[in-house]
Structure 1
Amino acid sequence: MASEDVKTPESAVSTIVNLAEEAKLAREGVKAPRYAIISICKSLVAGGVAGAVSRTAVAPLERLKILLQVQNSHNIKYNGTIQGLKYIWRTEGFRGLFKGNGANCARIVPNSAVKFFSYEQASMGILYLYQQHTGNEDAQLTPLLRLGAGACAGIIAMSATYPMDLVRGRLTVQTERSPYRYRGMFHALSTVLREEGSRALYKGWLPSIIGVIPYVGLNFAVYESLKDWLIKTKPFGLVEDSELSVTTRLACGAAAGTVGQTVSYPLDVIRRRMQMVGWKDAASVVTGEGRSKASLEYTGMIDAFRKTVRHEGFGALYKGLVPNSVKVVPSIAIAFVSYEVVKDVLGVEVRISD
């Protein structure tokens, strides 16, 4: 009996491919809850690993992007990707390239886990409703439905981990020459709570949510739709059967990341600037001693857009876009492929596309 209990969850994996079959198993026996727990854990682990691997691989570019986003146009230290990376290396050493990555991974691991898991659940739910609405049990997700599922996943994941994102941003812009305010992630969280209140942990949340809808939505929609198109049409001999090679999947992920970040990037800039509001040392850390703290104060998202464009021009909304583009291409690609590879290793047969 004990051996049967061990085998049952694994054998059940291959039988559960949608919400209807999950409900059927739940009605027929008590093994369904055990499967659900195992499946959830595997999916969360795969998403977390994918996030950690992909973000660490591009940590130097992530830090440079944030420094470019928040620096003052009258006190330029970082002029581009190569120069910026060299400047960080020269002034802060190798460790400076990965500053804030610990807090970043602490945020991205749960964020990625929740995001991928939420997308799977949202996709199954939306597909089930779509099949019921159309009366066609063989109906598949359309690109628009995938966009909706991705948007839901992005909103849930961003909201759940947003305080970590704010703290990561503040840790990242600190340099060796800056007056240190935060010794680490937990110290930063407690300091913000004590000095600025709990609402400060969600500064810039609105543009983040607005930005995450096209960003995550397009990432999933483009990735899944592109994979589906390649499998069905098999162009240029890229696909021999129903499986795509790792290289092809990386290319799909790169295309998805490029489209998503280009559309949502201005909102990311505004979010990052709003996160710096209330940080007493932000003026000297970010904008230079010649600028007053008031230049960093915004009453809201629209005000931040207006002041940024008025004082620095429309191009300021795309500060850091080049290193971000260089970062996004491998990051999103690695995240998608890592997620699928880890799920294969863990023996989960149901993938995102399914």
Structure 2
Amino acid sequence: MASEDVKRTSDSAVSTIVNLAEEAKLASEGVKAPTSHALLSIAKSLVAGGVAGGVSRTAVAPLERLKILLQVQNPHSIKYNGTIQGLKYIWRTEGFRGLFKGNGTNCARIVPNSAVKFFSYDEASKGILWFYRQQTGNEDAQLTPLLRLGAGACAGIIAMSATYPMDMVRGRLTVQTDMSPQQYRGIYHALTTVFREEGPRALYRGWLPSVIGVVPYVGLNFAVYESLKDWLIKSRPFGLVQDSELSVTTRLACGAAAGTVGQTVAYPLDVIRRRMQMVGWKDAASVVVGDGKNRASLEYTGMVDAFRKTVRHEGFGALYKGLVPNSVKVVPSIAIAFVTYEVVKDVLGVEMRISD
């Protein structure tokens, strides 16, 4: 009898150990497989978004540089009078390479910016959706355009904050010319020089207007794009929608409209951000506000002071300097980014909405 009890106990112990081992194995496989799949999916998405962003930004780099030059040029020494004249002037004075000055820095920040943005948007969407379901008591509730606006704004703020020093030195590399006494030799040299000569806070100069500007820009981008898509799908005007799917051309039009609305609303903040970034750089010959005897007019005590001095010295229109080349580049930039993203997505097997 005792022998049978011992045998049963032994069998039970062996069975328990085997079951625990199997459960541990299954649990391990159950955790690792989805995690590996999720990480691979995130990596693919970031590669697709990074390539698309780099290609689209490079294609419109001349317009991007001209926009920044128009934003910060001295109103008493006008060099750039418009898009065509400005591009011709850069070509004549700096050559072909001058049209793409600062683009390397711009592209270099696309990958980390996209990485943080995609990850932050995904996590913010999950958190906002969970909170929304808890508040409404509806476990089947989905994200509304307003909630997407909030998630997009959070992602934009986090991504912009994480890569802001790169954007700051990009602005300076873009503005500097061959006549500048001091030359930044590249991204690393610009970062270390600004850090050493102006302090770590200088790398985040203009951060506040950037944060404020990201909210309407990214938020409106999501809200307008999604609202237009919903309206087109529901109303089906002009036969644009077939089988509840929008054509590539229609999606591009929605994206262009969303980008135009967002950047127009947030553009004054972008101008102020760019001017604040130039503060402290004595060799920025084209960013002085006022004549040569009054260089101090460029010194801003904050975002409000920058707004006030810009409007007082140059008028309200100065807040929209460079808007035309910026608007001109919106449509081709979105179009090229979309096509490139679709190609890379198909190659890598990534499934993601263009609005993401």
Whether the TM-score (by the shorter chain) exceeds 0.5 is yes
1:214 maps to 216
Distance 1:260 1:237 in 2: 27
Counterpart in 2 of 1:19? none
Distance 1:341-1:142 versus aligned 2 partners, 3 A rule: farther
Once the two structures are superposed, the pairs formed by residues 232-247 of structure 1 within 5 Å of their partners are 232-247=234-249
CA 1:135–1:193: 2 relative to 1, 3 Å? same
Equivalent position SS for 1:280? coil
Percent sequence identity over matched residues?
84
Q: How does 1:102-117 map to 2 (within 5 A)?
A: 102-117=104-119
Match of 1:185 in 2: 187
- How far 1:204 sits from its partner (Å)? 0.3
Question: Offset of 1:55 from its aligned partner?
Answer: 0.9
The TM-score, its normalising length taken from structure 2, stands at 0.86
Is 1:171–2:173 an aligned residue pair? yes
Amino acid at match of 1:272: R
The answer for unaligned runs of 5 or more in structure 2 is: 1-26
Paired residues of 1:249 and 1:337 also in contact (CA < 8 A): no
SS of aligned partner of 1:286: coil
Residue 27 to residue 219, structure 1, CA distance change in 2 (3 Å): farther
Structure of larger gyration radius: 2
Change (3 A) 1:320 1:100: same
Contact 1:246 1:337 in 2 (8 A): no
Question: How far apart are the structure 2 equivalents of 1:290 and 1:332?
Answer: 40
Provide Cα deviations, 1:42-100, integer angstroms capped at 9, x if missing partner: 12212212211221111000000000000011110000011101111111111111111
* Structure 2 counterparts to residues 327-338 of structure 1, below 5 A: 327-336=329-338, 338=340
CA distance, structure 2, for counterparts of residue 337 and residue 133 of structure 1: 39
CA–CA separation in structure 2 for the residues paired with 1:189 and 1:300: 22
Displacement after TM superposition at 1:31 (Å): 1.4
Answer whether contact 2:74 2:286 (CA < 8 A) is retained: no
* 2:55 corresponds to which of 46, 53, 56: 53
Gap change, CA 1:339 and 1:223, over 3 Å in 2: farther
Deviation, structure 1 residue 27: 10
Distance change (3 Å), C-alpha of 1:353 and 1:228: farther
Mapped to 1, the partners of 2:138 and 2:345 lie a distance apart of: 29
Matches within 5 A, 1:192-271: 192-271=194-273
2:325, 2:235 → 1: CA distance?
34
Q: Deviation at 1:135?
A: 3.1
Report which stretch shifted further, 118-127 or 337-346. Answer: 337-346
How do 1:15-26 residues align onto structure 2 when only pairs under 5 Å count?
none
Give the TM-score, by structure 1 length: 0.86
Residue equivalent to 1:148? 150
Q: Does 1:315 align with 2:317?
A: yes
2:46 to 44, 47, 52: 44
Q: How far 1:341 sits from its partner (Å)?
A: 4.9
Instruction: Tell me how far 1:353 sits from its aligned partner.
Output: 6.6
Provide structure 1 residue ranges, at least 5 long, that are not aligned to the other structure. 1-24
Distance 1:138 1:341 in 2: 34
The Cα shift of 1:296 comes to: 1.4
For the pair 1:121 / 2:123, whether they are aligned, the reply is yes
Match of 1:9 in 2: none
Distance 1:37 1:71, change over 3 A: same
SS of 2:245 mapped into structure 1:
coil
**Is residue 287 from structure 1 mapped to residue 288 from structure 2 by the alignment?**
yes
Corresponding letter in the other structure for 1:210: I
Instruction: Describe the SS at the equivalent of 2:94.
Output: helix
Relative to structure 1, the CA distance from residue 330 to residue 120 in structure 2 (aligned partners, 3 Å threshold; closer, same or farther) is farther
Cα pair 1:340 1:351 within 8 Å, conserved = no
Which secondary structure does the structure 2 equivalent of 1:30 belong to? Answer: helix
Structure 1 counterpart of 2:194, one-letter code = V
The alignment covers a number of residue pairs equal to 329
For residues 12-45 of structure 1, give each alpha carbon's deviation from its aligned partner in whole angstroms, at most 9, with x where no partner exists. xxxxxxxxxxxxx999543121122112211221
Q: Summarize the Cα distance change of 1:236–1:218 in structure 2 as closer, same or farther, 3 Å threshold.
A: same
- Matching residue of 1:69: 71
After superposing the two structures, state which structure 1 stretch, 44-53 or 219-228, moved more.
219-228
Q: Are 1:85 and 1:97, in contact at CA under 8 Å, matched by a contact in 2?
A: yes
- How well do the aligned residues superpose, as a CA RMSD in angstroms? 2.3
Task: Provide the rounded CA distance (Å) in 2 between the counterparts of 1:317 and 1:330.
Answer: 24
| Structure 1 residues 304 and 350: CA distance shift in structure 2, 3 A | closer
1:93 pairs, out of 90, 95, 103, with 95
SS at match of 2:124: helix
Report if the CA contact (8 A) 1:119-1:153 is conserved: yes
Aligned equivalent of 2:17: none
Letter in 2 for 1:224: E
After superposing on structure 2, the runs of 4+ consecutive aligned residues of structure 1 that deviate more than 6 Å are none
Q: Distance in 2 between matches of 1:75 and 1:301?
A: 24
Q: Helix, strand or coil for the counterpart of 2:241?
A: coil
